[in-house]
Structure 1
Amino acid sequence: MKVLKMCCEKLTLVALVFAAIFSTFAGLSNVSAKQMTTLINAETWVEKPEVVQEAQSLKKKDTNLNKREIPEGWRDQKVLSHTVVRQGPVSLEEAKNWDEYPSTTVVATGYTAGVESTGKTEGDPLYGITFSGVEVKRDLYSTIAADTDVFPIGTIMFIPGYGYGVVADTGSAIQGNKIDLYYETVEDVFDKWGKQEVEVFVVEEGDGHLTDEHIYELNEDEAMQVFRDEKYYAGAS
């Protein structure tokens, strides 16, 4: 009799432990006793299509945090770790770390295609044509003049306050560390630049050649179009 009583007590204790474990699992996973039975049945009697279908739907159930457990304000937030995201376009001067490029200090002046700078009038066949043969241009990439012994034709540089300049021209007064920046009018030369000492950054050294096609490709680069708005690129005209 004692033995029978002890066996019953042990069986009762085992049943209580099993019930506690099952209850804890069900609470954490949101799976009910009926659903658990369905899962077991699906693993054991796979020939019952309706049981398998219900079990598969249960397996897909998210047993982690669901939306109702996530604070309302967090649901639509995107977290970018250790990254500061700026809203809207930035200027050319902010777009790159210019310190990564070779730099030099130059005296920069402005010039036009007109007689006051080149001695040519609009009726001249060579009016607006640079030493390299390309047409003068004020754009995202503008034509500039330099001493080709210092900056060969085709050299691309960034001039803070002006933008990208591509060496396309020369000049008798442009010797050593001097450059001449192209503007469309004399008024722009005086109003927007004048004469300045400035640190320029050499993005690419030229090979002595330049074409209108290359200038066009630089200015029409899709990634550069955001800077066309005069608010966002240096020295906009």
Structure 2
Amino acid sequence: MMTSFFSARRRLGLVTLLSIALFAGSVPAEGTAAGEEEAKPSEADRRAGAAAHKEDALPAVLWNDTAGAKARQVQVIATGYTAGVESTGKRPGHPLYGITYSGVKVRRGAVSTIAADPKVFPIGTLLYVPGYGYAIVADTGSAIKGRKIDLYFETKKQVFQQWGKRKVVVRVLRQGSGRLTEASLNALNEAVAAEKRLPGKRLES
């Protein structure tokens, strides 16, 4: 009887353990409904996450990848100016109205003209200015000395509403040679408008 009793208890114990194991396996994990698998991120979720990460990153996709990665970064104080009398002392009708130090006309486009200290950024230097876009040094200014740049806008209202005065870190995509022509600026704007980024050959020229 003793042997049968202990054998029976051992069998009962095994049955009990097996029942517990089976029950535990049937209980859904915390946060998961019964009969459902653990939620996995969908393809749409993965794409959304990747897009959010891209937005947080510097916009290197806008320029030639190699140049963007190697670009020198410089912190500057950036202000805004117009071609008007409040900034240049010239009014429409003046023979030099809207004409920069380099000789090209001011413009706000795919690549906009800006003023800088030529000792820091020579004429023709190509920059990427966060919040403003591509910019090329075409002008100078009596108050623009050292690490300061002046961004061109078409109206005073745009200067105050869209910019004001900011401290930004610009990327130097191409060092200028000291000169800039209307033809080269037009070609650069056309290339960016067509390709939506700076072609590598334009950065090397």
User: Following superposition of structure 1 onto structure 2, how do residues 213-232 of structure 1 map, counting pairs within 5 Å?
Assistant: 213-221=183-191, 224-225=193-194, 227=196
Q: Which amino acid aligns with 1:193?
A: W
Q: Is the 8 A contact 1:111 1:182 kept in 2?
A: yes
Which structure is larger by alpha-carbon Rg, 1 or 2?
1
Q: Is the 8 A contact 2:60 2:69 kept in 1?
A: no
Residue in 2 that maps onto 1:46: none
Q: 1:195 aligns with which of 165, 170, 179?
A: 165
Q: Distance in 2 between matches of 1:151 and 1:100?
A: 17
Q: Distance in 2 between matches of 1:190 and 1:93?
A: 25
Q: 1:204 aligns with which of 163, 166, 174?
A: 174
Q: Higher relative CO (CA 8 A, sep ≥ 6), structure 1 or 2? A: 2
Give the stretch that moved more between structures: 90-99 or 173-182. 90-99
With structure 2 as the length reference, what TM-score do the two structures score? 0.64
Consecutive aligned runs of 4 or more in structure 1 exceeding 6 Å deviation: none
Q: Distance in 2 between matches of 1:213 and 1:92?
A: 30
Q: Distance in 2 between matches of 1:92 and 1:115?
A: 36
Structure 2 CA distance for partners of 1:175 and 1:123, relative to 1, 3 Å: same
> Aligned residues: percent identity?
54
With structure 1 as the length reference, what TM-score do the two structures score? 0.55
- Shift of residue 85, structure 1, vs aligned partner: 9.1
Q: Distance in 2 between matches of 1:124 and 1:194?
A: 27
Unaligned runs of 5+ in 2: 1-48, 198-205
- Shift of residue 226, structure 1, vs aligned partner: 5.9
How many residues align? The count is: 141
Q: Does 1:93 align with 2:47?
A: no
Q: Distance in 1 between matches of 2:186 and 2:50?
A: 31
Structure 1 vs Structure 2 CA RMSD: 2.4
Q: 1:185 aligns with which of 135, 155, 166?
A: 155
